[in-house]
Amino acid sequence: MEKEPLKYQRLREEMVRQQIEARGVADPAVLAALRRVPRHIFVSEALRDQAYGDFPLPIGEQQTISQPYIVAEMSQALQLSREDRVLEIGTGSGYQAAILAQIAYKVYTIERIRPLYLQARRLFDELRLFNIVTRYGDGSKGWDEESPFDAIIVTAGAPTVPAVLLNQLAVGGRLVAPVGNQHSQDLVKIVKEKTGTRQTSLGGCRFVKLVGEHGWKEP
């Protein structure tokens, strides 16, 4: 990969200090990952100078790359260790998976839109992120044959957390997902315990909808 211009390193550092640390994200591994991953390569060339702004950006196919703070907040909520195996539902641009790959042992990520799947796979190879395993298909079903996972992150809004995903979460595992209607959601964190699950709210959010067998139906 070509050496990146210094301006992107500067913009990335400003993003972490002003948007992430200033809002209370303090996990050292998450902050280091955000400083390392070149967010600008996950958007179109026309949008690269906006990549480190405090907002989501379109990536085509009516999908978006999430606001940096949301990526940081969800990553921190997963409480990842270097030994963890993580499942991501909705690869999208690939940026969230690239962040997780800096922190966890292995990331499994599923995308249902083929052009996004192919583009993300190309970027992972370019960045030499060989601990990311990709799949093209319906993410709402999870990835049963690779379960259980230590953590699951859902990057699209669903009416409820699909039970099939909770079934694929290990005891002690953490799941973070936006839950609500098609226009606004509540970001929830669920911890799976031996006797059941414990759920907390991380606040309001707005994601594209999770389309699939266990999410919203195709229009």
The verdict on whether omega for the bond into residue 148 sits within 30 degrees of 0, i.e. cis, is yes
Of the residues 66, 93, 140, 147, only one is catalytic, namely 66
Q: Kindly report the CA angle at 120 between 118 and 123, in degrees rounded to 5?
A: 110
One-letter amino acid for residue 107 of the chain = V
The contacts of residue 25 (CB under 8 Å, 6+ apart) are 31, 69, 72, 73, 76
Q: For residues 172-203, b (16+ Cβ closer than 10 Å) or e, as one string?
A: ebbbbbbbbeeeebebbbbbbeeeeeeeeebe
147 included as an active-site residue: no
By annotation, the residues acting in catalysis are 66
